Structure 1
Amino acid sequence: MTDHDQSVPTRDPAVIDVHAHAVLPMTQGAAGAAGPELGSAPDGRPFYRVGEYVLHGVRYEGSAFMDVNVRIDGMDAAGIHRQLLSPNPLTYFNDLDPATAVRYCRAHNDALAELVGAHPGRLMGAAQLPLRDVGASVAELERAVRDLGLLAAYIDTDPGRPLDDPAMDALYEAAVGLDVPVFVHPTPIGAGGPPDDPRLRRFDLDLLFGFAYDETLAVAALVFGGVLDRHPRLDVCLSHGGGALAYVAGRFARAVAAPRPWVPGFLLENGIEPYLRRLWLDTHVHSGRSLELLVDVVGTDRLVFGTNFAGWDAGGARVTDEVGDLMPVLSGNAARLLRLA
């Protein structure tokens, strides 16, 4: 622990970052043969293995992903006061057998709770869940919140079933009952490695475009599929501004303005805008013009600051400048979303 660990950065003590992944040393091998595993190739390049997929060239050890002192130093440099730590999207393990998935999620959440518990003034945690078994996910979320003090659920945009699958309702009901939000973020890997669509294997498009694709599909499932209508008190936060939401919102609205076989009555009656404005969205969209469009479409009431801290697209020490004068609003929103205020 650095001697300034519990200090408040001088630039803006109110800044809350809700989009920051962690790689936890204590979870290595916790999924059995599926890993995860850290190592070095014969040429010295680091690798990170998850099941049959191997990520080459990304050095987690010694970085903010694994070294809490490096993380907090980076937070101080960026003027970030508090950060919600979430699972590495590579390790959702949606295809694991339920028993192994439960063991992994328990190990992950225990390790995350230990980490954030050692830095209560700076770090908070979101729970990973074994979503192949929704009942087990409910039990683990209850344990993570009540026993471990984690503040949210964290799930994939495609956790092995559509987000509007009726089986997921039990998880949403549990989140409402526990009074915690659900964060939704894609994984960059498909069933057999990244990604299932070979066109996304070029030019790093799994990251550059694939995430936006998955997040937009998640918006459609949550809105068109009736999740928000069935669970009016549910708080769901999507990464990266909800993908292409701001750009396609008008197209979505036109589609539900007239009867179609798949358009539910609540959208015909209420329109789509009230449901889009129910979504919480992080501002990690990389462009002032994109952020302006997002604000124009959904307003600012449910926007929260996110960075993908230490990731390839994180923005560095001046990341807070990307949102400008919106920061006080975003931090106030984050405090509401995480039940800090």
Structure 2
Amino acid sequence: MTASTATTTLRLGTRGSALARTQSQTVADALTAATGAAVELVPIVTEGDRSRAAIQQLGGTGVFVAALRDALLAGEIDLAVHSYKDLPTAVQPGLTIAAVPGREDPRDALVARDGLTLGELPPGSTVGTGAPRRVAQLRALGLGLDVVPIRGNVDTRMGRVSSGDLDAVVLARAGLSRLGRLDAVTETLDPLQVLPAPAQGALAVECRSGDARTRELVGRLEDSSARSCVVAERSVLATLEAGCSAPVAAYAEVAEGDAGPELFLRASVTAIDGSDAVRGSVSGPLPDAAALGRALAAELLDRGAAELMAVDA
């Protein structure tokens, strides 16, 4: 441990929700364990936290990260922890993703009344979710569910089930895991039914591009397989020119191929009313992650993805 590492406290910007603070504290603890650096959490309020409007109405991607990035660029904090799926796909000048730590299970999870699974919910059951991707895929299953938009933190959403207001909600399993709430999950959804959002379950640790010391320290948290998967998934999103308010799903896994580790990438675009969808998959070496995502997105576009993204509910 160097003297500067021991004496300088790193200021880590975080949103104020329980999930964001838990994620940030996990990164802070890992950073201290790996480097010996002291880390202080600095709460930052974002536009997405202030508003109760739907994500689409807020302008979609970026509403949960802009204030954190402004604080980074202003030198008010040294690093920020984001849920990677909240980040715009465009590069932010002056900032860099210094590490993608190990990823949680990226699948979606159902929290339903009476311990029910998705297939056991009667037709007409109300299922809450804030994500257009989930809305579209749940409708496409043809189960006759009434899918309704919701906002709020994890406890608020699950509370609408326990209160009887909704029959079920669909949430990211990763968030429930980080909060120690997996006991509430009544079914972890198979990606064949509901494909996850690009980068779901992954964290992005961001710092200033010119801050070599922080970049080096944070870089010790890097999980190269997690980054390859996220790069492939977000490359699909970027090529489709879609954000978190579009019904786009992508899920990459690392598996052992004939010539070593290989990336297996699936993606889909579903009309928001569930009436139609295009799906595809591709595989290849991990260093080709971005190219694999671009190729798969191009295939989906050739098959009508842009038209499906334009279909209204």
Whose RCO is larger (CA < 8 A, sep 6+)?
2
* Fold match by TM threshold 0.5: no
- TM-score norm. by structure 2 comes to 0.29
The structure where helix makes up a greater share of residues is 1
- TM-score norm. by structure 1 comes to 0.27
The structure where strand makes up a greater share of residues is 2
